[in-house]
Structure 1
Amino acid sequence: MWLHEILSEKVEKERTRLQQIKKEYSDKSVGEIKVRHLFNGLRGADLLVSQISYVDPQDGVHFYGHSVEEVLNMLPKAEKSELPLAGGMYYLLLTGDNPTREQALMVEEEWRRRSDLPYHVADMLRAMPRDTHPMTMFSQAILALQSRSEFTRHYVNGLQKTDYWQPTLEDSLNLVAKAPAIAAAIYNIKYHNQGLVPPSQSLDWSANFAYMINKEWDNEYMDLCRLFFVVHSEQGIGNVCEHTAWLVNSALSDVYFACSAAMNGLAGPLHGRANQDSLEWLLGILHKFGDCPTEQLLEEYIWDTLNRGKVIPGYGHSVLRQTDPRFLAQLEFGRKHMGDDSLFQLVELVYKVAPRVLQEYGKVSDPWPNVDAISGAMQYHCGLHEYDFYTVLFGVGRIIGITANLVWSRALFTPIERPQSLTLDVLEQQLKAI
């Protein structure tokens, strides 16, 4: 096509120009930030403020100062389980207070009475082509709920700015309540051509997902859901999905608009879909060797992967410089429940070998595993072999943190986000004038 021919020359010219700017001016400042921040995805630039959490490079995500390990220990536990109630996590993220069991159960009850999925959402999911990606279905289902937005209804009737957070909280409670039902509907419709299973009125929010995909008999999977959704719930507002929601909501688009957009970001291979890539890589190793390989064979395989210009899926993080505590939490769960599974044994062996190889390789800033290095393997072990669905589960958990941040964003009058942009010409002119 003629446009390709015209642009090809210009693209190469501008790439060369950009590399020269980065080489000559990387540590120069433009306004309040350095040139390198303009071209590295703003990594290392402190530009956002969350009421709720931050990610420490050495200790991982903290929720109101509490580490992942502390949160898993201190939150009230589900009935006959050692794993926490998601309702307690939501209470913590919203209030900053460690919930009592009664408070956690009150949140769970709020979700329970709001959990039914409207018919029009289920009908829309059934009408979508069977080859539709599950994250497309998830995003569309969230957007289909927008017609019931309390924020939008009150806003058009003159809602005062000081009260924006209240209908935002209502929308947040409603969306979080329905998230497991949406995910279960997608799973049942897309993969098994089955009807919807109404939520149980006795199970907690996390276990209800297992119930709605007909795994009500599987206590191990219910516990995995409790762990999975909590550890995926929140990681600051700098990651793609949470920042997307934050940005969209800053225009006073309601929770449904914001969360649907967030799921579109989460769907990307460099974000939520990484758990699928990691599992596919692990299964490829098992297929090649027929079982979990020896340490030496695995080391050779990893070197071969790197030498072919590929990455080790699930290893590395844009902020963390140690093993992700969310990985460690799932590793501990796996050791208790999955120790005889060759896939889980491979996860442990990769954890032993890959960091050493990556450090020797020397081209990565973080050789340690993140949450994606294990989460897909856990789901696969428990029978969910449809691994393009795993990002939906990530999204179910992450909506907890997104919506809690949006409530606080409206409560603290966060303005519309509108950074200034520069052309390369203007940038060059400013840098040459320094």
Structure 2
Amino acid sequence: MSMFRNSIVKLVASHQGLVSNCRYATAASTNLKAVLANQIPEKQEEVKKFRKEHGSTKVGEVTVDMMYGGMRGIRGLVTETSVLDPNEGIRFRGYSIPDCQELLPRGNGGTGEQPLPEALFWLLLTGEIPTQQQADAISKEWNDRAAIPNHVTTMLNNFPSNLHPMSQFSAAITALNSESKFAKAYHSGVKKSQYWEYAYEDSMDMIAKLPTVASIIYRNLYREGSSVGAIDPKKDWSWNFATMLGYDNADFVELMRLYLTIHSDHEGGNVSAHTTHLVASALSDPYLSFAAGMNGLAGPLHGLANQEVLIWLTEVRKKVGDNITEDGMKEFVWNTLKGGQVVPGYGHAVLRKTDPRYTCQREFALKKLPDDPMFKLVSALYKVVPDILLEQGKAANPWPNVDAHSGVLLQYYGMTEMNYYTVLFGVSRALGCMASVIWDRALGLPIERPKSFDTPALKKLAAAAKK
């Protein structure tokens, strides 16, 4: 059946002009580590040859504004897993989000409409579209690795209720470092050429355990500490996560698959991905590295943005009601801007078009909850905000980003606890961060240590550059 499905998918891709660029998994093996072991020597040689030929080639320049402006636009990182194009949006190993929704294997629970995050993880690591059997093999492996040690459960159950969910999430990931195979191998003197193997083992273990950790946090804070239950070996990663959270709606399972896929990776320069990469470059194990990244994700300018959007939307609805006209919405948005406020969920540091992650969530909502008042409000804003921001002339990107939509979907299915949303983001972001860490170790990338200057030294450099 899966061979028939793959044939149909290839036929569809060919019709769309995609097939010439599609890289389907060529190996019959369902062992992801074995597939990687075959790929890594070839990639190592490719990078070695490239650096030998072009190591001194200049690929950009740094301005004083870039240095003071958060290194925005500086070309300084290697990230194999995804690239963010200002006009096309995110591409995972060359595949757009619509490509992934069309080509990646799906789950057998829920309604079977959304791709499996397991399939995306295979793609992020190998650059190949997996078969259904290969995606299912990852589901099984993560189910087998999902158990968490007792000391982590005890710690989570003893956290005070006023400790933010992201603080609990980060602390639990740090505590899971007791299970690190990478740390044990390093202290045993493992060869550098084998670092990637132990980074892989830790990454697979950690990704497998995160839904259980996240579900315990949710149940403790919002469901009176009720049990998360056991992992069901017949369910995939997202389905088990939804069940452990306490949601048995088939559409919510599909939402989890969608959410966990589209939030997984966004190039290497965002705070969570870059922090994970930076800490891992010191050869901290994947648990410690990802915990650091999660502390960055917890910031209001990064992972907490979806909460701010939902809070703002709730306030908008209170003020304008459910029957606002387009002219009324325009007036409200203009008043917001003239009052010195921004429109949350609009604009992006890199993108110069509607975020494809927003678009696929909108398509989901149009199909599943077209009459929801909050979705209608989001749609009404989408009609008027971009033109207003363009007219205002201050926004380089007047289009909505992923945060403009995600909270509304979660709230519709009953997950109204906004403080928890970033934990979901974190579970998803593990896929991209860990795929990158594995390749960082496979390519032998060194500790990251950029050169810094104080302002007097920078003034001297600037003066010398003008001569």
TM over 0.5: yes
Candidates 40, 49, 52, aligned match of 2:81: 52
- Long gaps (5+) in structure 2: 1-59
Aligned-pair CA distance for 1:269: 1.1
> What code does the residue aligned with 2:64 have?
V
> What code does the residue aligned with 2:104 have?
L
Match status 1:205 vs 2:237: yes
Aligned-pair CA distance for 1:191: 1.3
Cα gap change, 1:244/1:221 in structure 2, threshold over 3 Å: closer, same or farther? same
Q: Secondary structure at the match of 1:199?
A: coil
Query: In 1, Cα distance between the equivalents of 2:61 and 2:449?
Result: 15
Query: In 1, Cα distance between the equivalents of 2:61 and 2:447?
Result: 19
- Check conservation: 1:292, 1:343, Cα contact below 8 A: no
Query: In 2, Cα distance between the equivalents of 1:372 and 1:269?
Result: 12
Match of 2:363 in 1: 332
Q: Secondary structure at the match of 1:164?
A: helix
Match status 1:78 vs 2:107: yes
Q: Secondary structure at the match of 1:313?
A: coil
- Check conservation: 1:286, 1:293, Cα contact below 8 A: no
- Check conservation: 2:61, 2:74, Cα contact below 8 A: no
- Check conservation: 2:146, 2:231, Cα contact below 8 A: yes
Aligned-pair CA distance for 1:378: 0.6
Aligned-pair CA distance for 1:200: 2.0
Match of 2:141 in 1: 110
Alignment of 1:378-393 (within 5 A): 378-393=409-424
Match of 1:14 in 2: none
Match status 1:262 vs 2:301: no
Match status 1:66 vs 2:95: yes
Q: Deviations over 1:156-203 (max 9, x none)?
A: 001110000001000000010011111111100011222331222221
Q: How many residues align?
A: 404
Aligned-pair CA distance for 1:398: 0.5
Match of 1:95 in 2: 126
Match of 1:21 in 2: none
Candidates 211, 234, 241, aligned match of 2:272: 241
Match of 2:400 in 1: 369
- If the length of structure 1 is used for normalisation, what is the TM-score? 0.91
Aligned-pair CA distance for 1:345: 0.7
Query: In 1, Cα distance between the equivalents of 2:204 and 2:453?
Result: 40
Match of 1:23 in 2: none
Match status 1:33 vs 2:62: yes
Match of 1:231 in 2: 262
Runs (4+) off by over 4 Å: none
Root mean square deviation of aligned Cα:
1.3
Aligned-pair CA distance for 1:249: 0.2
Q: Secondary structure at the match of 1:329?
A: helix
- If the length of structure 2 is used for normalisation, what is the TM-score? 0.85
Match of 1:214 in 2: 246
- Long gaps (5+) in structure 1: 1-30
Match status 1:171 vs 2:207: no
Q: Deviations over 1:8-28 (max 9, x none)?
A: xxxxxxxxxxxxxxxxxxxxx
Q: Secondary structure at the match of 1:61?
A: strand
Match status 1:275 vs 2:289: no
- Check conservation: 1:286, 1:292, Cα contact below 8 A: no
Match of 1:18 in 2: none
Cα gap change, 1:170/1:221 in structure 2, threshold over 3 Å: closer, same or farther? same
Query: In 2, Cα distance between the equivalents of 1:147 and 1:282?
Result: 42
Q: Deviations over 1:388-412 (max 9, x none)?
A: 1101101111111100000000000
